[in-house]
Amino acid sequence: MPADTVPEKETAIFCADETFTFQSLKKTMLHPETAPLCGKITLLDLGFERSLAPETHLFAFNQQAAKNIYRPRPSFSHKGTFGKVLIAAGSYGKMGAAVLATRAALHTGAGLTTTLAPSCGHEILQISCPEAMFTAGGEKHLTSIKAEEELTVAVGPGIGTEPETAKALKKFLKGWKKTCVLDADALNLIAKKPELLNYIPAQSILTPHPKEFERLFGPTENSMEQQKVASEKATEHQLIIILKGHRTQIILPDGAVFYNMSGNAGMAKGGSGDVLTGMLVSLLAQNYSPAEAALFGVWLHGAAGDVAVTRYSQEAMLPGNLINSIGEVFRQFAKKKSTS
């Protein structure tokens, strides 16, 4: 089997029980069309010096890499130290997305979190997230998205695709100059008006699942071709694109691709992406760089899933369980930092 392409369907390939590979993982071990053919993967170290390794734009992002990014909170701090978040989310019948994103932002450490949502979701949010503030931007769906410059903004979870919401998003993007997080229906609305891509601030984070990516940038034959297109678009528009999946790929504006090594199939449920959006905007607000927020946020999201699965199983775990597991991952990191 080729190491870096999806083989032709006519190619004779058998499903291995175990695959031995030297020095580093290969692309085919990380993509859905080919990874199941590899069985158990055993990585063999040949003892090469890192300096002798060929240059690459492909990397695996693991726990050690996440530890290198994580920063413990300073003792002399206040809520303003950890940033102010605004999450534009929710519409009639989709307020759960707003709740999940808001709770995730709070549990990831943002100092102050406000949710901009339709007034129909006021009671839902105030009861579900008493630690957050609420501001209305319409009745049943968002008709305006306004944010002060000091805020770090995420837009998209559950906002729907109503024409008035599309106009509000267009107006926001044309006037907003800071890095932001765009997810879910924000991406679906941009897909309907591709010229809006040109208004997205540099270094902003887009988090499409495969179908959303297809709507944005067109169909591809397989996940490796999709990665190639994503790298081109990330470089062209100077964006960070997170291709969500089992081995979620974080693609930076310089074309570097990081495969996330945490997470499990129990996370493949509606709402998990809303949790990720809240986590990403929270990290951005805490002055992690866009690349750091994307890399650490995706890994932390998966690690929380790995904690949750031990308690609930892949079948029973819910996106809300991810949120409740974030603290355990942080606790482990803080403990190791204090003893190192």
- Asked if 263 and 288 sit in the same domain, the reply is yes
Residue 125 lies in a domain: no
> Residue 272 is part of which domain span?
67-78+147-336
Residue 142 lies in a domain: no
Q: Cα(306)–Cα(326) distance, rounded to whole angstroms? A: 10
3-state secondary structure of 156: coil
Q: Cα(117)–Cα(274) distance, rounded to whole angstroms? A: 14
Structure tokens, 73? 């909170």
Q: How far, in whole angstroms, is CA 86 from its chain's centroid?
A: 17
Structure tokens, 204? 């902003």
Q: Cα(329)–Cα(331) distance, rounded to whole angstroms? A: 5
3-state secondary structure 187-219: HHHHHHCHHHHHHCCCCCEECCCHHHHHHHHCC
φ/ψ of 220, rounded to 5, equals: -130, 160
Structure tokens, 68? 């290198």
- Asked if 33 and 157 sit in the same domain, the reply is no
- Indicate the number of domains in the chain: 2
Bridge partners (DSSP) listed for residue 20: 42
Tens of pLDDT, residue by residue over 242-301, are 999 999 999 999 999 999 999 999 999 999 999 999 999 999 999 999 999 999 999 999
- Asked if 152 and 33 sit in the same domain, the reply is no
- Looking up tokens 């003893």 gives 339
Q: Cα(95)–Cα(120) distance, rounded to whole angstroms? A: 9
- Asked if 45 and 73 sit in the same domain, the reply is no
What integer is the mean pLDDT of 187-202? 98
- Asked if 71 and 4 sit in the same domain, the reply is no
Name the residue among 122, 114, 126 with its Cα closest to residue 154: 114
Structure tokens, 172? 């926001």
Tens of pLDDT, residue by residue over 28-52, are 888 888 778 888 888 888 777 766 5
What integer is the mean pLDDT of 143-152? 97
Bridge partners (DSSP) listed for residue 117: 136
- Looking up tokens 């991952």 gives 329
Which residue type occupies 119? S
Structure tokens, 264? 């499990």
Predicted confidence (pLDDT) at residue 10 exceeds the cutoff of 60: no
- Asked if 73 and 11 sit in the same domain, the reply is no
- Asked if 45 and 74 sit in the same domain, the reply is no
- Asked if 249 and 320 sit in the same domain, the reply is yes
Tens of pLDDT, residue by residue over 55-69, are 889 999 999 999 999
